[in-house]
Structure 1
Protein backbone atom coordinates (compact mmCIF):
# COMPACT_ATOMS: atom_id res chain seq x y z
CA UNK A 1 0.00 0.00 0.00
CA UNK A 2 1.30 3.46 -0.89
CA UNK A 3 2.29 5.84 1.87
CA UNK A 4 0.00 8.69 2.90
CA UNK A 5 0.43 11.93 0.91
CA UNK A 6 3.29 14.01 2.26
CA UNK A 7 2.27 17.24 3.92
CA UNK A 8 4.15 20.41 3.09
CA UNK A 9 5.41 22.71 5.81
CA UNK A 10 2.39 24.99 5.71
CA UNK A 11 -0.28 23.37 3.54
CA UNK A 12 -1.57 19.82 3.75
CA UNK A 13 -2.89 17.84 0.80
CA UNK A 14 -6.35 17.83 2.35
CA UNK A 15 -6.18 21.59 2.91
CA UNK A 16 -5.80 22.15 -0.82
CA UNK A 17 -9.04 20.31 -1.54
CA UNK A 18 -10.83 22.09 1.29
CA UNK A 19 -9.49 25.39 0.02
CA UNK A 20 -11.04 24.64 -3.35
CA UNK A 21 -14.43 24.02 -1.75
CA UNK A 22 -14.16 27.22 0.27
CA UNK A 23 -13.23 29.19 -2.84
CA UNK A 24 -16.18 27.78 -4.81
CA UNK A 25 -18.58 28.62 -2.01
CA UNK A 26 -17.27 32.17 -1.61
CA UNK A 27 -17.26 32.74 -5.37
CA UNK A 28 -20.84 31.59 -5.81
CA UNK A 29 -21.93 33.76 -2.88
CA UNK A 30 -20.49 36.78 -4.68
CA UNK A 31 -21.56 35.78 -8.20
CA UNK A 32 -24.05 32.89 -8.53
CA UNK A 33 -23.50 32.69 -12.28
CA UNK A 34 -19.69 32.78 -12.19
CA UNK A 35 -19.05 29.16 -13.15
CA UNK A 36 -21.78 29.13 -15.78
CA UNK A 37 -20.08 32.05 -17.50
CA UNK A 38 -16.61 30.57 -17.03
CA UNK A 39 -17.60 27.24 -18.57
CA UNK A 40 -19.04 28.91 -21.68
CA UNK A 41 -15.51 29.40 -23.08
CA UNK A 42 -12.58 31.75 -22.92
CA UNK A 43 -11.73 34.92 -24.78
CA UNK A 44 -8.65 36.30 -23.00
CA UNK A 45 -7.07 39.42 -24.51
CA UNK A 46 -3.64 38.64 -23.05
CA UNK A 47 -1.03 35.88 -23.29
CA UNK A 48 1.29 35.96 -20.30
CA UNK A 49 4.67 34.23 -20.53
CA UNK A 50 6.12 34.25 -17.06
CA UNK A 51 8.34 32.45 -14.58
CA UNK A 52 7.17 29.30 -12.79
CA UNK A 53 8.01 30.96 -9.47
CA UNK A 54 5.09 30.47 -7.07
CA UNK A 55 5.29 34.09 -5.97
CA UNK A 56 4.43 35.51 -9.39
CA UNK A 57 0.82 34.53 -10.23
CA UNK A 58 -0.36 36.48 -13.28
CA UNK A 59 -3.98 37.03 -12.22
CA UNK A 60 -3.27 38.16 -8.68
CA UNK A 61 -0.54 40.67 -9.48
CA UNK A 62 -2.58 42.24 -12.30
CA UNK A 63 -5.86 42.13 -10.35
CA UNK A 64 -7.60 40.18 -13.11
CA UNK A 65 -10.07 37.29 -13.06
CA UNK A 66 -10.00 33.69 -14.34
CA UNK A 67 -10.53 33.88 -18.09
CA UNK A 68 -8.72 37.21 -18.52
CA UNK A 69 -5.18 35.92 -19.10
CA UNK A 70 -3.91 32.89 -21.00
CA UNK A 71 -0.75 31.75 -19.22
CA UNK A 72 2.47 29.94 -20.11
CA UNK A 73 5.16 29.61 -17.44
CA UNK A 74 8.62 28.09 -17.28
CA UNK A 75 11.83 28.48 -15.30
CA UNK A 76 12.97 32.11 -15.66
CA UNK A 77 10.39 32.98 -18.35
CA UNK A 78 12.75 31.88 -21.12
CA UNK A 79 11.58 32.32 -24.71
CA UNK A 80 13.51 30.41 -27.36
CA UNK A 81 12.61 29.35 -30.90
CA UNK A 82 13.25 25.66 -30.17
CA UNK A 83 10.65 25.40 -27.39
CA UNK A 84 7.69 23.68 -29.06
CA UNK A 85 5.62 23.96 -25.89
CA UNK A 86 5.92 27.74 -25.87
CA UNK A 87 5.42 27.98 -29.64
CA UNK A 88 2.26 25.86 -29.43
CA UNK A 89 0.87 28.15 -26.73
CA UNK A 90 1.78 31.22 -28.77
CA UNK A 91 0.22 29.82 -31.93
CA UNK A 92 -3.03 28.95 -30.17
CA UNK A 93 -3.14 32.32 -28.42
CA UNK A 94 -2.52 34.36 -31.56
CA UNK A 95 -4.38 32.34 -34.19
CA UNK A 96 -7.29 30.88 -32.22
CA UNK A 97 -7.84 33.09 -29.18
CA UNK A 98 -6.77 36.23 -31.08
CA UNK A 99 -5.11 37.81 -28.06
CA UNK A 100 -4.29 41.49 -28.33
CA UNK A 101 -1.19 41.44 -26.12
CA UNK A 102 1.69 39.05 -25.49
CA UNK A 103 3.59 39.89 -22.32
CA UNK A 104 6.91 38.37 -21.31
CA UNK A 105 7.20 39.05 -17.58
CA UNK A 106 10.32 38.40 -15.55
CA UNK A 107 10.82 39.18 -11.89
CA UNK A 108 13.64 40.55 -9.78
CA UNK A 109 15.20 37.92 -7.55
CA UNK A 110 14.58 35.17 -10.11
CA UNK A 111 16.37 31.99 -9.03
CA UNK A 112 16.88 30.82 -12.59
CA UNK A 113 18.58 34.03 -13.63
CA UNK A 114 20.71 33.98 -10.49
CA UNK A 115 21.81 30.41 -11.23
CA UNK A 116 22.70 31.43 -14.79
CA UNK A 117 24.99 34.12 -13.38
CA UNK A 118 27.00 31.54 -11.48
CA UNK A 119 29.20 28.61 -12.45
CA UNK A 120 27.77 26.03 -10.07
CA UNK A 121 26.38 22.89 -11.70
CA UNK A 122 22.73 22.47 -10.81
CA UNK A 123 21.59 19.53 -12.94
CA UNK A 124 19.55 19.07 -16.08
CA UNK A 125 18.33 22.64 -15.74
CA UNK A 126 21.85 23.79 -16.66
CA UNK A 127 20.91 23.16 -20.30
CA UNK A 128 17.89 25.45 -19.95
CA UNK A 129 19.88 28.15 -18.17
CA UNK A 130 22.31 28.33 -21.09
CA UNK A 131 19.63 30.36 -22.87
CA UNK A 132 19.98 33.03 -20.18
CA UNK A 133 23.75 32.85 -20.40
CA UNK A 134 23.34 33.57 -24.10
CA UNK A 135 21.48 36.75 -23.15
CA UNK A 136 24.42 37.69 -20.91
CA UNK A 137 26.87 36.97 -23.74
CA UNK A 138 24.87 39.15 -26.16
CA UNK A 139 25.01 42.05 -23.70
CA UNK A 140 28.42 41.25 -22.20
CA UNK A 141 29.85 44.75 -22.55
CA UNK A 142 26.94 46.30 -20.66
CA UNK A 143 26.86 43.54 -18.05
CA UNK A 144 30.61 43.60 -17.41
CA UNK A 145 30.46 47.35 -16.80
CA UNK A 146 28.03 46.91 -13.89
CA UNK A 147 30.16 46.51 -10.76
CA UNK A 148 27.36 46.10 -8.21
CA UNK A 149 26.38 42.40 -8.23
CA UNK A 150 22.78 43.16 -7.23
CA UNK A 151 22.37 45.69 -10.03
CA UNK A 152 24.00 43.26 -12.46
CA UNK A 153 21.54 40.55 -11.37
CA UNK A 154 18.58 42.92 -11.78
CA UNK A 155 19.76 44.03 -15.20
CA UNK A 156 20.05 40.45 -16.46
CA UNK A 157 16.47 39.86 -15.30
CA UNK A 158 15.42 42.87 -17.38
CA UNK A 159 17.46 41.88 -20.42
CA UNK A 160 16.11 38.33 -20.27
CA UNK A 161 12.54 39.65 -20.42
CA UNK A 162 13.41 42.05 -23.24
CA UNK A 163 15.17 39.30 -25.19
CA UNK A 164 12.14 37.05 -24.68
CA UNK A 165 9.81 39.69 -26.08
CA UNK A 166 12.15 40.15 -29.04
CA UNK A 167 12.12 36.41 -29.71
CA UNK A 168 8.31 36.40 -29.60
CA UNK A 169 8.20 39.23 -32.10
CA UNK A 170 10.59 37.43 -34.44
CA UNK A 171 8.53 34.24 -34.65
CA UNK A 172 6.74 33.38 -37.89
CA UNK A 173 3.53 33.21 -35.83
CA UNK A 174 3.59 36.85 -34.81
CA UNK A 175 4.96 38.07 -38.14
CA UNK A 176 2.15 36.33 -40.02
CA UNK A 177 -0.42 37.89 -37.71
CA UNK A 178 1.00 41.37 -38.31
CA UNK A 179 1.20 40.75 -42.06
CA UNK A 180 -2.51 39.89 -42.00
CA UNK A 181 -3.34 43.12 -40.18
CA UNK A 182 -4.07 41.49 -36.84
CA UNK A 183 -4.02 43.78 -33.81
CA UNK A 184 -1.25 42.43 -31.60
CA UNK A 185 1.35 44.00 -29.33
CA UNK A 186 4.35 42.38 -27.66
CA UNK A 187 5.68 43.70 -24.35
CA UNK A 188 8.43 43.05 -21.78
CA UNK A 189 7.71 43.55 -18.07
CA UNK A 190 9.56 42.91 -14.83
CA UNK A 191 7.80 42.38 -11.50
CA UNK A 192 9.25 43.33 -8.13
CA UNK A 193 8.66 40.89 -5.28
CA UNK A 194 9.67 43.60 -2.81
CA UNK A 195 7.17 46.25 -3.92
CA UNK A 196 4.57 44.31 -5.90
CA UNK A 197 4.95 46.80 -8.75
CA UNK A 198 5.38 45.80 -12.39
CA UNK A 199 7.98 47.71 -14.41
CA UNK A 200 7.16 48.21 -18.07
CA UNK A 201 10.46 47.92 -19.95
CA UNK A 202 8.96 50.13 -22.69
CA UNK A 203 9.95 47.93 -25.61
CA UNK A 204 6.46 47.39 -27.00
CA UNK A 205 6.30 46.21 -30.61
CA UNK A 206 3.16 46.04 -32.75
CA UNK A 207 4.19 45.85 -36.40
CA UNK A 208 6.59 44.21 -38.85
CA UNK A 209 8.83 47.28 -38.87
CA UNK A 210 10.09 46.23 -35.43
CA UNK A 211 11.22 42.78 -36.53
CA UNK A 212 14.99 42.23 -36.66
CA UNK A 213 16.01 42.04 -40.36
CA UNK A 214 17.78 38.70 -39.83
CA UNK A 215 14.48 37.15 -38.71
CA UNK A 216 12.12 38.92 -41.09
CA UNK A 217 10.10 36.53 -43.23
CA UNK A 218 9.04 37.25 -46.80
Structure 2
Protein backbone atom coordinates (compact mmCIF):
# COMPACT_ATOMS: atom_id res chain seq x y z
CA UNK A 1 0.00 0.00 0.00
CA UNK A 2 2.74 2.42 0.98
CA UNK A 3 4.59 1.87 -2.30
CA UNK A 4 1.44 2.76 -4.25
CA UNK A 5 0.72 5.87 -2.19
CA UNK A 6 3.48 7.26 0.00
CA UNK A 7 1.08 9.24 2.22
CA UNK A 8 -1.35 6.33 2.78
CA UNK A 9 -0.49 5.54 6.40
CA UNK A 10 0.06 9.19 7.29
CA UNK A 11 -3.45 10.07 6.12
CA UNK A 12 -4.90 6.98 7.81
CA UNK A 13 -3.24 7.91 11.10
CA UNK A 14 -4.68 11.41 11.05
CA UNK A 15 -8.36 10.50 10.77
CA UNK A 16 -10.99 7.96 9.78
CA UNK A 17 -14.01 8.62 7.59
CA UNK A 18 -16.14 5.48 7.65
CA UNK A 19 -19.44 5.61 5.82
CA UNK A 20 -20.82 2.39 7.30
CA UNK A 21 -21.17 0.70 10.67
CA UNK A 22 -21.06 -3.09 10.51
CA UNK A 23 -22.61 -5.04 13.38
CA UNK A 24 -21.68 -8.64 12.76
CA UNK A 25 -20.87 -11.95 14.36
CA UNK A 26 -17.56 -12.70 16.06
CA UNK A 27 -17.14 -15.75 13.81
CA UNK A 28 -13.68 -15.75 12.21
CA UNK A 29 -15.17 -16.78 8.85
CA UNK A 30 -16.97 -13.46 8.45
CA UNK A 31 -14.32 -10.78 7.78
CA UNK A 32 -16.29 -7.56 7.38
CA UNK A 33 -13.74 -5.55 5.38
CA UNK A 34 -13.09 -8.36 2.90
CA UNK A 35 -16.78 -9.07 2.38
CA UNK A 36 -17.56 -5.42 1.68
CA UNK A 37 -14.34 -4.79 -0.26
CA UNK A 38 -13.64 -1.70 1.83
CA UNK A 39 -10.30 -0.26 2.89
CA UNK A 40 -9.12 0.51 6.45
CA UNK A 41 -10.84 3.66 7.64
CA UNK A 42 -13.98 3.08 5.56
CA UNK A 43 -15.88 0.62 7.77
CA UNK A 44 -16.61 1.01 11.49
CA UNK A 45 -17.03 -2.46 13.02
CA UNK A 46 -18.67 -4.00 16.07
CA UNK A 47 -18.84 -7.77 16.53
CA UNK A 48 -20.36 -10.10 19.08
CA UNK A 49 -21.72 -13.65 19.17
CA UNK A 50 -24.63 -13.91 16.71
CA UNK A 51 -24.71 -10.18 15.86
CA UNK A 52 -26.99 -9.09 18.68
CA UNK A 53 -28.29 -5.59 19.45
CA UNK A 54 -29.42 -5.77 23.06
CA UNK A 55 -30.71 -2.69 24.86
CA UNK A 56 -28.63 -3.41 27.96
CA UNK A 57 -25.39 -3.99 26.03
CA UNK A 58 -23.60 -0.68 26.54
CA UNK A 59 -20.63 -1.89 24.52
CA UNK A 60 -22.75 -2.17 21.37
CA UNK A 61 -24.79 0.94 22.14
CA UNK A 62 -21.64 3.00 22.69
CA UNK A 63 -20.37 1.95 19.27
CA UNK A 64 -23.70 2.87 17.67
CA UNK A 65 -23.81 6.23 19.45
CA UNK A 66 -20.26 7.11 18.42
CA UNK A 67 -20.92 6.02 14.85
CA UNK A 68 -24.13 8.04 14.52
CA UNK A 69 -23.41 11.15 16.60
CA UNK A 70 -19.66 11.59 16.15
CA UNK A 71 -18.70 9.91 12.88
CA UNK A 72 -22.02 10.83 11.23
CA UNK A 73 -22.32 7.42 9.63
CA UNK A 74 -25.41 7.13 7.42
CA UNK A 75 -25.67 3.35 7.02
CA UNK A 76 -25.71 0.63 9.67
CA UNK A 77 -25.55 -2.98 8.51
CA UNK A 78 -26.49 -5.90 10.73
CA UNK A 79 -25.09 -9.05 9.16
CA UNK A 80 -25.81 -12.60 10.25
CA UNK A 81 -24.39 -15.69 8.59
CA UNK A 82 -25.21 -19.31 7.89
CA UNK A 83 -23.68 -22.06 10.02
CA UNK A 84 -23.58 -19.65 12.97
CA UNK A 85 -22.30 -21.32 16.13
CA UNK A 86 -24.36 -18.98 18.29
CA UNK A 87 -27.56 -19.90 16.48
CA UNK A 88 -26.84 -23.63 16.74
CA UNK A 89 -25.90 -23.32 20.42
CA UNK A 90 -29.16 -21.50 21.17
CA UNK A 91 -31.11 -24.23 19.39
CA UNK A 92 -29.34 -27.04 21.24
CA UNK A 93 -29.73 -25.37 24.65
CA UNK A 94 -26.74 -27.12 26.21
CA UNK A 95 -24.98 -25.82 29.31
CA UNK A 96 -22.12 -23.76 27.89
CA UNK A 97 -21.57 -21.56 30.91
CA UNK A 98 -21.80 -17.78 30.91
CA UNK A 99 -22.64 -17.51 27.22
CA UNK A 100 -25.99 -19.23 27.84
CA UNK A 101 -27.22 -15.91 29.25
CA UNK A 102 -26.35 -14.22 25.96
CA UNK A 103 -27.94 -16.98 23.90
CA UNK A 104 -31.24 -16.56 25.76
CA UNK A 105 -31.96 -13.60 23.49
CA UNK A 106 -31.81 -15.89 20.46
CA UNK A 107 -33.95 -18.49 22.16
CA UNK A 108 -36.53 -15.77 22.81
CA UNK A 109 -36.67 -15.21 19.04
CA UNK A 110 -37.14 -18.95 18.53
CA UNK A 111 -40.05 -19.03 20.98
CA UNK A 112 -41.57 -15.89 19.46
CA UNK A 113 -41.56 -17.36 15.95
CA UNK A 114 -42.05 -21.02 16.79
CA UNK A 115 -44.75 -21.33 14.13
CA UNK A 116 -42.09 -20.62 11.50
CA UNK A 117 -39.54 -23.07 12.83
CA UNK A 118 -41.26 -26.11 14.31
CA UNK A 119 -41.75 -28.21 11.17
CA UNK A 120 -38.39 -27.54 9.54
CA UNK A 121 -35.36 -29.80 9.43
CA UNK A 122 -32.56 -28.81 11.84
CA UNK A 123 -30.50 -27.32 9.00
CA UNK A 124 -33.38 -25.30 7.56
CA UNK A 125 -34.46 -24.29 11.06
CA UNK A 126 -31.01 -22.83 11.72
CA UNK A 127 -31.10 -20.90 8.43
CA UNK A 128 -34.58 -19.57 9.18
CA UNK A 129 -33.59 -18.56 12.71
CA UNK A 130 -30.55 -16.76 11.30
CA UNK A 131 -32.81 -14.68 9.03
CA UNK A 132 -35.32 -14.03 11.80
CA UNK A 133 -32.49 -12.98 14.09
CA UNK A 134 -31.28 -10.40 11.58
CA UNK A 135 -34.79 -8.95 11.22
CA UNK A 136 -35.21 -8.81 14.99
CA UNK A 137 -31.83 -7.12 15.52
CA UNK A 138 -32.57 -4.46 12.90
CA UNK A 139 -35.84 -3.85 14.72
CA UNK A 140 -34.05 -3.66 18.07
CA UNK A 141 -31.56 -1.19 16.64
CA UNK A 142 -34.30 1.00 15.24
CA UNK A 143 -35.94 1.18 18.66
CA UNK A 144 -32.83 2.40 20.49
CA UNK A 145 -32.91 5.98 21.73
CA UNK A 146 -29.84 6.69 19.60
CA UNK A 147 -31.48 5.83 16.31
CA UNK A 148 -34.88 7.25 17.25
CA UNK A 149 -33.29 10.59 18.16
CA UNK A 150 -31.28 10.61 14.95
CA UNK A 151 -34.44 10.16 12.90
CA UNK A 152 -36.34 12.67 15.03
CA UNK A 153 -33.65 15.27 14.39
CA UNK A 154 -33.78 14.68 10.65
CA UNK A 155 -30.48 12.87 10.39
CA UNK A 156 -30.07 10.69 7.31
CA UNK A 157 -29.64 7.17 8.68
CA UNK A 158 -30.48 3.84 7.07
CA UNK A 159 -30.55 0.42 8.73
CA UNK A 160 -29.94 -2.74 6.70
CA UNK A 161 -30.20 -6.47 7.39
CA UNK A 162 -27.97 -8.91 5.52
CA UNK A 163 -27.03 -12.58 5.73
CA UNK A 164 -23.67 -13.93 4.59
CA UNK A 165 -23.74 -17.48 3.25
CA UNK A 166 -20.48 -19.14 4.25
CA UNK A 167 -21.25 -21.98 1.81
CA UNK A 168 -20.98 -19.87 -1.32
CA UNK A 169 -19.60 -16.49 -0.22
CA UNK A 170 -22.68 -14.46 -1.15
CA UNK A 171 -24.01 -11.55 0.89
CA UNK A 172 -27.80 -11.55 0.70
CA UNK A 173 -29.87 -8.46 1.46
CA UNK A 174 -32.82 -9.61 3.56
CA UNK A 175 -34.96 -6.67 2.52
CA UNK A 176 -35.07 -5.28 6.05
CA UNK A 177 -34.34 -1.61 5.42
CA UNK A 178 -35.41 1.27 7.63
CA UNK A 179 -34.95 5.01 7.24
CA UNK A 180 -37.52 6.13 9.83
CA UNK A 181 -39.68 4.75 12.64
CA UNK A 182 -42.52 4.26 10.18
CA UNK A 183 -40.45 2.37 7.62
CA UNK A 184 -38.93 0.30 10.42
CA UNK A 185 -42.34 -1.06 11.40
CA UNK A 186 -43.36 -1.70 7.79
CA UNK A 187 -40.06 -3.30 6.81
CA UNK A 188 -40.02 -5.55 9.87
CA UNK A 189 -43.57 -6.79 9.28
CA UNK A 190 -42.88 -7.38 5.60
CA UNK A 191 -39.72 -9.34 6.40
CA UNK A 192 -41.58 -11.64 8.79
CA UNK A 193 -44.36 -12.09 6.22
CA UNK A 194 -41.86 -13.07 3.53
CA UNK A 195 -40.28 -15.65 5.82
CA UNK A 196 -43.72 -17.01 6.70
CA UNK A 197 -44.56 -17.35 3.00
CA UNK A 198 -41.21 -19.05 2.36
CA UNK A 199 -41.89 -21.47 5.18
CA UNK A 200 -45.35 -22.31 3.83
CA UNK A 201 -43.93 -22.94 0.35
CA UNK A 202 -41.32 -25.30 1.76
CA UNK A 203 -43.95 -27.17 3.78
CA UNK A 204 -46.11 -27.61 0.67
CA UNK A 205 -43.13 -28.83 -1.32
CA UNK A 206 -42.25 -31.29 1.41
CA UNK A 207 -45.84 -32.56 1.55
CA UNK A 208 -45.92 -33.11 -2.23
CA UNK A 209 -42.64 -35.02 -2.09
CA UNK A 210 -43.99 -37.27 0.64
CA UNK A 211 -47.16 -37.94 -1.36
CA UNK A 212 -45.11 -38.93 -4.41
CA UNK A 213 -43.15 -41.41 -2.31
Instruction: Output the TM-score relative to the length of structure 1.
Output: 0.82
Structure 1 partner of 2:201: none
- The 1-side partners of 2:98 and 2:4 are apart by 45
Contact 2:177 2:184 in 1 (8 A): no
| CA deviation after TM superposition for structure 1 residue 138, in Å | 1.3
| CA deviation after TM superposition for structure 1 residue 137, in Å | 1.2
**What is the aligned residue count?**
186
Matched, 1:158 2:131: yes
What aligned pairs does 1:129-168 form with structure 2 within 5 A after superposition?
Answer: 129-146=103-120, 148-168=121-141
What aligned pairs does 1:38-117 form with structure 2 within 5 A after superposition?
Answer: 38-117=12-91
Could you tell me which runs of 5 or more consecutive residues in structure 1 were left unpaired when the two chains were aligned.
1-26, 213-218
Where does structure 1 differ by over 2 angstroms across 4 or more consecutive aligned residues? none
| CA deviation after TM superposition for structure 1 residue 208, in Å | 2.2
| CA deviation after TM superposition for structure 1 residue 211, in Å | 4.6
Structure 2 partner of 1:199: 172
Could you tell me which runs of 5 or more consecutive residues in structure 2 were left unpaired when the two chains were aligned.
186-213
Instruction: Output the TM-score relative to the length of structure 2.
Output: 0.84
What value does the CA root-mean-square deviation take over the aligned residues? 1.3
- The 2-side partners of 1:209 and 1:75 are apart by 29
Q: For residue 30 of structure 1, give the secondary structure of its aligned residue in structure 2.
A: coil
- The 2-side partners of 1:94 and 1:86 are apart by 12
